[in-house]
Chains A and B, each alone.
Chain A
Amino acid sequence: MRDPVKSNLTIRVCMGTGGIAAGGVEVMAVFADRLAGRGIRADIRKHCSIHKVGCRGLCAKDVLVDVILNGDKTTYQFIKPDMVERIIEEHVVGGNPVLEWAVGEDYHQFHDKQVKVVLSDCGNINPEEIDSYISVGGYNALERVIKKMTPAETIALIKKSGLRGRGGAGFPTGVKWEICRSVEASRKYIICNADEGDPGAFMDRSVIEGNPHAVIEGMTVGASAIGADKGYVYIRAEYPLAVERLKNALKQARERSFLGKNILGSGFSFDIRIKLGAGAFVCGEETALIASIEGLRGMPRAKPPFPVHKGLWGQPTVINNVETLANIPYIIRNGAEWYASYGTEKSKGTKVFALTGKIRNSGLIEVPMGIPLREIIYDIGGGIENNRKIKAVQTGGPSGGCIPAELLDITVDFESLARVGSIVGSGGMVVLDETDCMVNIAKFFLQFTQSESCGKCVPCRIGTKRLLEILERVTEGKGRLGDIELLESLANDIKATSLCGLGQTAPNPVLSTIKYFRDEFEAHITKKKCPAGVCRDLLSFVVLKDFCKGCGACKRVCPAGAVTGERKQVHVIDPEVCVKCGACYDACKFKAIGKG
């Protein structure tokens, strides 16, 4: 065997779900194949290593490829298999990076204001190889905790860091562990909540895909602190790549004695099982999640008793979110003060958000708590697509609310978002512009929560249905006077009387849009107009006389035959026949169709 020579070429292909969807596997195969094909240059072939990298956040630009040649890194975006040849030819062989394909200014801006803790190793290490995680300090924290610290010291450290749960409610993690530790029981459990049911959220998936060992290490630390010998990862079956990587990581961790009996010879034993969820949003709620693991219908139950007192199989149980747990190893490695140096007084550390909507750079971002919302939108996000005007930012997904553009200067942390009627939640962040109808946005989220309600309690089961029906009639132009007040009154009753967090928060998107965009609701109801031009039933299409050239394009595309007119004459749309499909609007080259 020859000595492995230190590589002077590294190719890294983004292989998160985003990367794979964009063709990452093919791109990587072509790299491997073409590099091998040029095998004459044995030095290149031998020295190149190809990692499968986890998600690095900017999925909109996938497939992203890093080419690191003699220590200089160039990152390429939107790479397709047929582009590989030129990169190898010009960059790898010729030494000149293909600049026109390299990421631009916005890619760097996207990263500059971010602070990566949970995501720090995602994208840099090989999530399928435990040594890759160990080489960046992985499992140090576990070793320290079980060999040199008492459970009380571990809990004190986590409390001091100020870490609060990333699953939505923001409960202090150290306090949760402390309560569970203090309960006498023959058996305790720790559960990692990887259900991630919010539409549009994918941070937990990305963390498990990009750095599964951090989650395992965090769970094991937690288990030793509370005195659990068994853990579960509750993960939705729709995340096959994450499940596969997690399984692989669990196997590797067992082989290295980071899991199993007598971990690292310390006498502490702990193991983790994977429990696949069927993808019901409500199963992310902790008592429903427990019922689901126990083989029952995933339905919440009343608290108290809280899971820390009576959880899985009636035993004290800590449930933590993926991101919460993935923070743990970094906090122990770098110290509580280091973690607490990020964030605000009450919201410490960093938070991962899924930035989407009408924003230039969409993707996963990790920012220090307390960052101004404006910086997220304009510095990291690169501003609004097509230079349109921003209208609002929706945070917290279906449990959250809309923050209007006037409030863009607020900071992003648990307290300040709550003050304006929204939440951090699981970290969804959808940017809305002037072409978004706020009634429609509220309807969208209600559609989701209404269909995901478990049906156990009346206000959520029937109440959200009625809320949705009222919103539907408003967007259809059948809104009645008093509907806004009815929405508010019903929404408040649902919030106050629902059993679990789903029903208690489901009305938030409705209440916050009414609070800040009441005029839009009124326009729908009294003027029967949708100011954003979104609600089809409220639109009318007319031919603008002064612009019409009589080309007949609209007449040809209209599926309903609503357009009449002779060639070179001004055309007319019959509003009785028009089905408001908008085909004429799109077809007219002279912008002679008015929509409103």
Chain B
Amino acid sequence: MIHLTINGLPVSVPEGTTILDAARSADIPIPTLCHHPKLTPYGGCRLCIVEVKGINRPVTSCTTPVAADMEVATTTPAIEGMRKTILELILSDHPNDCMVCEKAGDCALQELAYFYGVRENRFDGERRCYAGKDRNPFIDRDMEKCILCGKCVRVCEEVQGVGAIDIAYRGFNAKICPPFEKDLSCEFCGQCVSVCPTGALTGKAWTQRGRQKDIKEVDTICPYCGCGCGITLHVRRNEIVRVSSREETINEGWLCPKGRFGYTFVNSPERLHVPLIKEKGVFREAGWDEAMSLIVSKLGKIKKKYGPDAIGGLASARCTNEENYLFQKFMRAVIGTNNIDHCARL
């Protein structure tokens, strides 16, 4: 264990812990924009700077490991002044249109600007403006709002293992881009969207569906497959407007495109609510008991006339293991055939 003090408070943490993690373990807040606990430390936003006694310049707490007897100060007038300068700089190159931004109320940048009271900005000048829109089907990429925190790049590379995006250009013109600035064409897992601290990355389907303050969050399990990822439905007026996932789920907050973006069917008017029975080529609504009886009698007839191997069962990846187990049991023991298969194998 390494013993150090943070703001005069004694703290003990294992060797290799960063100052940021040490401070957070002691419930001492440090502002960050580019840090994510699951991603490689980056050191890009510089907001997490702290003073360490004996070092003549501020150090970034997210990248600096603790050392024995270190004396850390997380908030001094000099440090807070520099943090404010950094925020002013970021906002001097930002559209600042929280008024209509999808992310307002849930935006790390907006939050910091609020707490640091950045109303007047000493800096004005050129702002990055991009005309073209990314026409991919799922992710709205508004790079004018991007603060180059690099989280999307890291999550795509380190968690998803895809590497669909990286930083292109230099200096002020640096920009997160898919190769050759083409439209994003990737797995659309949306991991990048989930870590983006600003409104630079949002779901296309989220647009004008309601902001976070009006949302009721409902934790549930994704219905798509047997992985059973924990998801959180963002519900407004009894309508799902967004899906996210919490870090403490078994899937650690990461989802696949179906789980993250495939929720619009829930409110689709074309969804079935009751069983339909086809008679003379035309569907009519029916009750569950009627439908069940029909299935039992039809299967019984077929089995009697042609034998059990004339029947086959196709199970679904959207069922759980238990459901699939039961289904094969049903096919083998009740129907009496081994004709049982699963869409995931196709």
Report which A residues bind B (CB closer than 8 A): 280, 282, 297, 299, 301-302, 304, 450-466, 469, 486, 489-490, 493, 496-499, 504
Number of contact residues on B: which range applies? 35 or more
* 9-residue interface stretch from B57-65, B226-234, B315-323: B57-65
Q: Evaluate contact between B123 and A466: CB separation under 8 angstroms.
A: yes
CB distance from B252 to the nearest CB of A (A): 25
Contacts of B147 in A (CB 8 A): 458
Which residue from chain A places its CB closest to the CB of B90 in the assembled complex? A458
Contacts of B171 in A (CB 8 A): 450-455, 460-461, 464-465
- A sample of 11 inter-chain contacts (CB < 8 A) reads A280-B170, A302-B64, A455-B171, A456-B42, A460-B171, A462-B89, A490-B85, A490-B122, A497-B49, A499-B43, A499-B44
Contacts of B86 in A (CB 8 A): 458-459, 493, 497
Which residue from chain A places its CB closest to the CB of B173 in the assembled complex? A455
Closest 7 CB pairs of A and B: A455-B174, A302-B63, A453-B171, A302-B43, A462-B89, A469-B125, A465-B172
| A-B pairs under 8 A by CB, number | 105
> Would A302 and B89 be within 8 Å (CB), given that A453-B171, A462-B172, A469-B126 are in contact?
no
Q: Evaluate contact between A465 and B125: CB separation under 8 angstroms.
A: yes
Contacts of A280 in B (CB 8 A): 170
Q: Evaluate contact between B58 and A457: CB separation under 8 angstroms.
A: no
Q: Is the interface of A mostly helix, strand, loop or mixed?
A: helix
Q: Evaluate contact between B90 and A452: CB separation under 8 angstroms.
A: no
Whether B260 sits at the interface, judged by CB under 8 Å, is: no
Contacts of B41 in A (CB 8 A): 302
For the complex, what is the distance from the CA of A469 to the CA of B122, rounded to whole Å? 13
> Would A452 and B170 be within 8 Å (CB), given that A302-B64, A459-B89 are in contact?
yes
Which residue from chain B places its CB closest to the CB of A465 in the assembled complex? B172
Q: Evaluate contact between A304 and B65: CB separation under 8 angstroms.
A: yes
The 8 Å CB contact of A462, one of B57, B63, B92, B166, is B92
For the complex, what is the distance from the CA of A454 to the CA of B166, rounded to whole Å? 13
Whether B45 sits at the interface, judged by CB under 8 Å, is: yes
Contacts of B169 in A (CB 8 A): 455
Q: Evaluate contact between A496 and B58: CB separation under 8 angstroms.
A: yes
Q: Evaluate contact between A499 and B46: CB separation under 8 angstroms.
A: yes
Whether B82 sits at the interface, judged by CB under 8 Å, is: yes
The 8 Å CB contact of A498, one of B46, B92, B150, B167, is B46
For the complex, what is the distance from the CA of A454 to the CA of B82, rounded to whole Å? 21
For the complex, what is the distance from the CA of A493 to the CA of B85, rounded to whole Å? 7
CB distance from B92 to the nearest CB of A (A): 7
Contacts of B81 in A (CB 8 A): 493
Contacts of B85 in A (CB 8 A): 459, 463, 489-490, 493, 497
User: With A460-B171, A462-B123 given, can you name 19 additional A-B contacts, CB distance below 8 Å?
Assistant: A297-B166, A302-B43, A302-B60, A452-B170, A455-B174, A456-B44, A456-B148, A456-B174, A458-B89, A459-B85, A462-B90, A463-B89, A465-B125, A465-B126, A469-B125, A493-B82, A496-B82, A497-B58, A499-B46
Which residue from chain A places its CB closest to the CB of B122 in the assembled complex? A486
For the complex, what is the distance from the CA of A459 to the CA of B60, rounded to whole Å? 13
CB distance from B102 to the nearest CB of A (A): 23
Contacts of A498 in B (CB 8 A): 46
Q: Evaluate contact between A458 and B170: CB separation under 8 angstroms.
A: no
Which residue from chain B places its CB closest to the CB of A463 in the assembled complex? B89
Whether B93 sits at the interface, judged by CB under 8 Å, is: yes
Contacts of A499 in B (CB 8 A): 43-44, 46, 60
Q: Which of A299, A456, A458 has the most CB of B within 10 A?
A: A458
Contacts of B174 in A (CB 8 A): 454-456, 461
Contacts of B170 in A (CB 8 A): 280, 282, 451-455
Contacts of B45 in A (CB 8 A): 457-458
CB distance from A494 to the nearest CB of B (A): 9
The 8 Å CB contact of A458, one of B46, B57, B166, is B46
CB distance from B305 to the nearest CB of A (A): 67
For the complex, what is the distance from the CA of A456 to the CA of B90, rounded to whole Å? 13
Q: Which of B63, B85, B170 has the most CB of A within 10 A?
A: B170
CB distance from B15 to the nearest CB of A (A): 13
Q: Evaluate contact between B172 and A497: CB separation under 8 angstroms.
A: no
Which residue from chain A places its CB closest to the CB of B94 in the assembled complex? A462
